[in-house]
Amino acid sequence: MINILIAEDNEYIANLIKLSLRQMGYFCDVAYDGEEAANLAEKKVYDLVLLDVMMPKVDGFTLFEYIHQMNIPVIFITAKNSVNDRVKGLKMGADDYIVKPFEVLELQARVEVVLRRYNKTSKIIDIAGLSIDTESMTVKKDGEELRLTPKEYELLIFLARNPGKALYRETIYERVWGGELEYGSKTVDLHIQRLRKKAGWEKRLVSVSKVGYKLEV
């Protein structure tokens, strides 16, 4: 499940991007100003951000500095003649840029390239001693297949695609179970414990105080 944040103040362009990416099976949220985009990035874990340079309230470059700290890949959306903006964005650390007006196929290709660069779309994920085949939904450790429940597998995929990130329990529950985590629920903790044992991640899948968990690789 790939989540993409579209930060674009032009409603027509934002909806065009959203429709194009949803056709590829990606889940998309749209923010029409920089402040709204920052709020969404705080509440939800995204695999990629498409970021317009000229945004109301908070401009794209300022927002990039905030998002970049979260280790989220960013593709800048720039105007046709804004060469300086494209150069500035790349020097700041953006992964790519796309120029308005753009062809849908070009947008989709650039998104795929960046996601693949960060191992977001690979069918085989090799991480921390495990080999995860996302096509057959099988997981192997030292050549032996692990027996995981459907939720343990979904939890594993989410962790494997967000290595090194401190993930809130609420975020984990939202992405794996859907909905909001009820106060006092131990669902996430119990599944983490079982996954730790099955994967041999006792020292890798660590607790983060007042936050949740992090997969150290």
At 101 the pLDDT is 87
For the cut 90, the answer to whether the pLDDT of residue 87 exceeds it is: no
At 199 the pLDDT is 97
pLDDT band for position 145 (50/70/90)? very high
DSSP string of the chain, one letter each residue: --EEEEE-S-HHHHHHHHHHHHTTT-EEEEESSHHHHHHHHHHS--SEEEEESS-SSS-HHHHHHHHHTTT--EEEEEETT-HHHHHHHHHHT-SEEEEES--HHHHHHHHHHHHHHTTSS-SEEEETTEEEETTTTEEEETTEEP---HHHHHHHHHHHTSTT--EEHHHHHHHHT-S-PPTT--HHHHHHHHHHHHHT-TTTEEEETTTEEEE--
pLDDT band for position 188 (50/70/90)? very high
At 122 the pLDDT is 63
pLDDT digits (tens, 9 = 90+) for 18-64: 988 887 778 899 999 999 999 999 888 899 999 999 999 999 899 99
CB neighbour burial string for 6-32, b if at least 16 within 10 angstroms, e if fewer: bbbbeeebbebbbebbeeeebebbbbb
pTM of the model: 0.61
CATH class, range 124-215: mainly alpha
pLDDT (mean) for 60-83: 87
List the chain domain ranges.
Answer: 3-117, 124-215
For the cut 70, the answer to whether the pLDDT of residue 1 exceeds it is: no
At 10 the pLDDT is 94
* CATH number assigned to the domain covering 3-117: 3.40.50.2300
Contact residues for 19 (Cβ-Cβ < 8 A; gap 6+): none
